[in-house]
Structure 1
């Protein structure tokens, strides 16, 4: 037995108060009268002439002592410990894309769930079961419980997702939730279509393999789109098709741009052979590009036979250059057809929201709260930084070559004649350091994204470097990837997608490829959208937003690649009983018993002669 709150026993001192009042009640004096007819009702109300030093044997006193004692014991929280024979089992169900294969009828997941249901029904009733879904990100569906109906209901509701799995993470999650005092088991229902040495895993893991037939599958394993450097409307497309069957397969590849068929090819591939297709296309505006393969006959997995992309741009950026005149910036920005360039020497705070990007070239901006801002050689007034004296000829010491803003930009030969002497912005990402302090840093706070360059372009030879136009393109792409990055709108299923909505809304509505509406109310800027487990085209406000494709040779290869010792690692239906200690709280029972005693005390106090009358009636009848 365990007591969680022993300090509650200090309340036993209250018993002394009850005893003290009973001692003050006093001892009644015997008086001989001719009749008790008029004294019977007021007998108990007569004041005592002197206190009594011995407690009276009254039933109400014992009831009150017992009632207070039970309440104190309930507050002390008595726990009864007992050992039970239980087994803890975690059911791990593979729900990745390969489980949609139809080489088993109706598909692999349905067969795996049926086997899991049969296994669960054969277990003893006291077995504690938990359910883990093995997908792109493993998820605990149901924690340990002996309620079979609830777990079977959650198991039945599982559906396959168009994602690549992370089997190791799923098994690690399953092992982590096993109770430490017991060994437990992890039962993994899967098709084994992944590379994993099961013998390297803990002995708690047991595999339930599916009896698969000769699987056939052709898949699009690569779908890459990149713009031609000489024209932003021309693209180069790379499509790679792989045969994962054990025999030669014939197929037809078709490319669709919107509703127009732009390419068709008939081909055949030997087992484990791949073929690449390169196609040039011209896109005037944002359009859905779709690649489809048609195997002859139909293969066992259809989700990897289609891939989507969104070439072209559907919007133009309004870029404001606040400057007294900068030919380098003007010429570079005007070279992009996606940019509508505006120039001013001053700007009011209420005008800031009317532009997608604002560049302040050596002109102090108004206080900034939101927007995409570039400050060249000047610091916003609302940032709490102390500006020091200008620093002559700073020496460049370090820069982040892997940051998107400095990709393919060589700063080794750049010279700066004078820089601003400022501190590092709070929680800023420093891209370029020098002997005089940070020269280029990125700062984000709420809806404000700020790129600060701590020197005037005319005080450096940066505009004369070959990397300057590349830096401006990286800048535009970093602030607005939806316009300048052709790969922005194409992700792999299960990955997060970053949305930069132009208009501020209380909620946004996204429609997935299954025409399911997803409404997001608590929106941040930018928005991280993670419900991308379905392959296809996602739309926002009726316009195509991005595409999600499987494009995974890991999942498209339906052959089992798990190596394990079948004799020692296949699932064993024999129960491994483990002693687990369970604790039963006595507080609810003590409180219920206290309520019963309280009712008895109330009854005896208001009807003190009820028990005596019943006894006298019973004695007369027996007589």
Structure 2
């Protein structure tokens, strides 16, 4: 009997099977919207919980022959459960789903669902959402029919949809915090916007927002202290969505900048670099040795180092052979025809018709960014890496009329700030929830720990002096434990603040036969063998005990 039991056990482990005709139903993918607007409490307890309840009810009513999968549509869609007949597994996947304070990439979620349903003849994609996204009508879902299950009411809501912290042009060392307020109310309304510095309320302003529109507020003359400070802009209102009523920014200390100017003499350039009282400029007439690493920025005026510098640098007049550009033929009497208006170096800078008496245009290579160009090619190029930033002017500024314009000193001030700011989006609080934050990590750390707004921690690897961090799923303040670096994450998405329930047009798939159909499937027998084995062992146990 024991030999027979061993044989049955071996056969069960081998999982024998035969092929037989069976019945197969439809396949369904349940897509659960996990965006910030689903946290709204206009329906109890929230839109997300209502959507989860609808998905559970849909799952309970599915025919037993149908397969089901579950996808959470966040900023990066996630498969919580692959296609399965197991209803308990799908229920557990629905229970594990959690919304985030981010947007939702529904087109990508639909594409992912359609890919899972490719082998099926009449599949469906069931989307449980409030419709707070652009209608994804251009998404090809193949044969799959898309059906929307809407949750929520037409709730009134207001929120802070943008925040930006910038240094004041006319007062270096002081900052202005810009905030943009938006609401979806059908009439004008007045709000109170508070500015908190740490735990202290330091300012409050009244703002009138037109019907279904937005209005801006400025908090000026913010002076940094000797340590990073948390700034909160709070909208004094109680509405259906709480996470968009507060925006966050970090006011970092302003430290002196050490700048080395390597030049045989350029009064215009030296004067422009000295305009910022925080900047300490030293000048050398010959190329420096390794001591150049002691400076925050090195400006090479018509002199080129033999090897690429390790730190931040500006190259003027000559194109280094190792800079990732291809020099073109030198031209005379050229004119700037276009420039990158929104780049930090060229903010508030007008380069229209700047005349260049002599210039070497270049063809930028991968990893670089063109800031200004003439009809012949690029003449200003930026290169940004985690551990350093470079700026290239392919012309001598004294061979142009640029130093005679107001744009020149403004541009040089912008350049110094950009070169020494580890990550402008991180510095200004412009990280959108769900986006990538590149955290500067000086030193030789291989891993760092990021503390999240809820107090939890996540380990992140360091690459070339920076830690790329994507788990920005909650608004608030994040901090690198090892370095103490503090940064802010904001919702800043108009679509999430607008809580009006939208009804996207359903993406109807091609008409195919629906319902149950016969297919040739694999039928496994190991369960039966295991059952016989258990019965045999039970029989042996009974016979053994009856001897006594």
Shorter-chain TM band: 0.7 to 0.9
> Which secondary structure state, in structure 1, belongs to the residue aligned with residue 203 of structure 2?
strand
| 1:228 aligned residue (162, 168, 176) | 168
- 1:393 maps to which residue? 332
Secondary structure of 1:555's counterpart equals: helix
The alignment partner of 2:515 has SS state of coil
1:140 aligns with 2:79: yes
Post-superposition shift, 1:539?
A: 1.8
Deviation digits for residues 454-511 of structure 1 (CA, Å, limit 9, x no counterpart): 3333333332233222332342344234587897333322222233444443223322
- State the alpha-carbon separation in 2 of the partners of residues 238 and 449 from structure 1: 27
Q: Is the 8 Å Cα contact of residues 439 and 468 (structure 2) preserved in structure 1?
A: yes
Matched with 1:257 is: 197
Give the drift of 1:548.
Answer: 1.6
TM-score, structure 1 length as denominator? 0.68
RMSD (Å), alpha carbons: 4.2
Aligned-partner SS, 2:41: coil
Q: Unaligned stretches of 5+ in structure 1?
A: 1-77, 570-574, 589-623
Cα gap change, 1:467 to 1:535, in 2 (>3 Å): same
The structure whose Rg is larger is: 1
Would you say 1:288 and 2:227 are equivalent positions?
Answer: no
- SS for the counterpart of 1:441 is strand
| TM-score, normalising length: structure 2 | 0.76
Structure 2 unaligned spans of 5+ = 1-16, 509-513, 527-548
Partner of 1:187: 126
- Contact kept in structure 1, 2:208 and 2:215, CA below 8 Å: no
Separation in 1, partners of 2:98, 2:386:
37
- Are residues 437 and 447 of structure 1, via their aligned partners in 2, closer, same or farther at CA, if it must alter by over 3 Å? same
Work out the CA distance in 2 between the residues paired with 1:145 and 1:378: 64
Q: 1:534 aligns with which of 463, 468, 474?
A: 474
How big is each residue's C-alpha offset from its partner over 1:403-458, in whole Å with a ceiling of 9 and x where there is no partner? 62445544454343444598766765454556876543344678554333233333
Give the deviation of 1:584 after TM superposition.
Answer: 8.1
Distance verdict in 2 for CA 1:244–1:578, change over 3 Å: farther
**TM alignment of 1:332-411, pairs within 5 A:** 332-346=272-286, 350-368=290-308, 370-380=310-320, 391=330, 393=332, 395-396=334-335, 399-402=338-341, 404=343, 405-411=345-351
Which residue number corresponds to residue 537 of structure 2?
none
Aligned residue pair count = 500
Counterpart in the other structure of 2:248: 308
Cα distance in 2 for residues equivalent to 1:236 and 1:359 = 29
Aligned to 1:158: 97
Q: What's the offset of the Cα at 1:303?
A: 1.0
Deviations 1:302-343 (A, max 9, x none): 111211222454444332222233222222122224433333
Shift of the alpha carbon at 1:524? Answer: 3.9
Contact kept? 2:194, 2:204, Cα under 8 Å: yes
Q: 1:520 to 1:345 in 2, by over 3 A?
A: farther
Could you say if the C-alpha distance between residues 435 and 190 of structure 1 is closer, same or farther in structure 2, counting changes exceeding 3 Å? closer
Task: Deviation per CA, 1:556-588: give whole Å up to 9, x if none.
Answer: 2323121569xx99xxxxx833556656899x9
More relative contact order in 1 or in 2 (CA 8 Å, sep 6+)?
2
TM-superposed CA distance for 1:537, in Å, is: 1.4
Q: By percentage of residues, which structure has more helix?
A: 1
Tell me, what secondary structure is at the counterpart of 1:89? strand
Aligned to 2:503: 562
Give 1:208's match in structure 2, choosing from 145, 149, 153: 149
Residue 87 (structure 1) shift: 1.7
Match of 1:505 among 442, 445, 454: 445
C-alpha separation in 2, matches of 1:445 and 1:483: 10
2:431 is the alignment partner of 1:488:
no
Kindly tell me: are residues 466 and 425 of structure 1, through their superposed partners in 2, closer, same or farther at Cα, counting changes over 3 Å? Answer: same
- What does residue 114 of structure 2 align with? 175
**Alignment match, 2:66:** 127
Q: 1:294 to 1:182 in 2, by over 3 A?
A: same
Q: Quick check: 1:348–1:366 contact (8 Å CA) kept in 2?
A: no
Quick one: structure 1 residues 420 and 305, their matched pair in 2 at CA, closer, same or farther if it must change by over 3 Å?
closer
